[in-house]
């Protein structure tokens, strides 16, 4: 069983996220993590400059002088089922537009739908908030400048297929 940290909000395959304050959350990066905190921070900052779809980066920090911490805004997810179908259609359309903006700018999230062998729910990285749909966890996201045109286009194609699956899920609830 994974170690549970005080104020844990969630735990994924490699990292846990904890509540820091009412407005900040922190993703923990331990010695044995497979993720790179600097890379994740850079991708988050890049996406934040394009639009507000990806959770906001705040800073990098240390917890207890031994655990690296990626500090981001704390989101409070809401249930999709609280909204009428027509409103969900509008919310989804805005989400799709913002996702395409990110693609055009050179960012692809790559984790809209979790692979079936990963722990958690299939759309764990998509939150509905008071401000609309938001994406979290940019750990496997990619920047076009880092992966090249062909691979980036393949990632976009896969993400658009996942987006269609999410559309059906989001609208049919």
Q: Which two tokens stand for residue 35?
A: 């993720």
Average pLDDT of the chain is 90
Percent of the chain with pLDDT over 90: 75
| pLDDT tens digit sequence for 56-66 | 999 999 988 88
Q: What is the pLDDT of residues 138-160, one digit of tens each?
A: 989 999 999 999 999 999 999 99
Q: pLDDT, tens digit, for every residue of 3-36?
A: 677 898 988 777 889 999 999 999 999 765 556 8
Residue 113 — pLDDT band, cuts 50, 70, 90? confident
Distance CA 8, CA 5 (A): 6
State the pLDDT at residue 132: 95
> Which CATH number does the domain 80-172 belong to among 1.10.510.10, 2.30.110.20, 1.20.120.1630, 1.10.287.70?
1.10.510.10
Cα dihedral 160, 164, 169, 173, rounded to 10, equals: 120
Which is more confident, 117 or 61?
A: 61
Of residues 4 and 124, more confidently modeled:
124
Q: Is the pLDDT of residue 1 over 50?
A: no
- Answer yes or no: pTM beyond 0.85: yes
pLDDT at 117 over 60: no
- Give Rg (Cα) of the chain: 16
Q: How far apart are CA 108 and CA 115, in angstroms?
A: 16
Q: pLDDT tens-digit profile of 127-141?
A: 999 999 999 999 899
| Residue 120, C-beta contacts closer than 8 angstroms, at least 6 positions apart | 12, 114
């Amino acid at each position: 069983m994974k170690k549970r940290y005080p104020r844990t909000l969630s735990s994924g395959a490699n990292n846990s996220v904890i509540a820091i304050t009412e407005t900040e959350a922190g993703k923990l990066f331990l010695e044995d993590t497979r993720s790179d905190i600097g890379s994740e921070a850079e991708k988050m900052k890049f996406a934040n400059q394009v639009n507000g779809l990806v959770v906001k980066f705040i800073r990098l920090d240390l917890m207890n002088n031994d655990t690296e911490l990626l500090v981001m805004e704390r989101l409070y997810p809401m249930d999709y089922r609280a909204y009428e179908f027509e409103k969900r259609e509008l919310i989804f359309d805005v989400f799709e537009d913002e996702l395409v903006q990110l693609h055009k700018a050179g960012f692809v999230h790559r984790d809209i739908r979790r692979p079936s062998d990963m722990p958690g729910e299939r759309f764990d990285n998509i939150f509905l908030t008071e401000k609309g749909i938001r994406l979290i966890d940019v750990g496997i996201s990619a920047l076009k400048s880092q992966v090249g045109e062909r691979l980036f286009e393949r990632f976009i194609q896969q993400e658009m297929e996942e987006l269609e699956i999410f559309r059906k899920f989001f609208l049919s609830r």
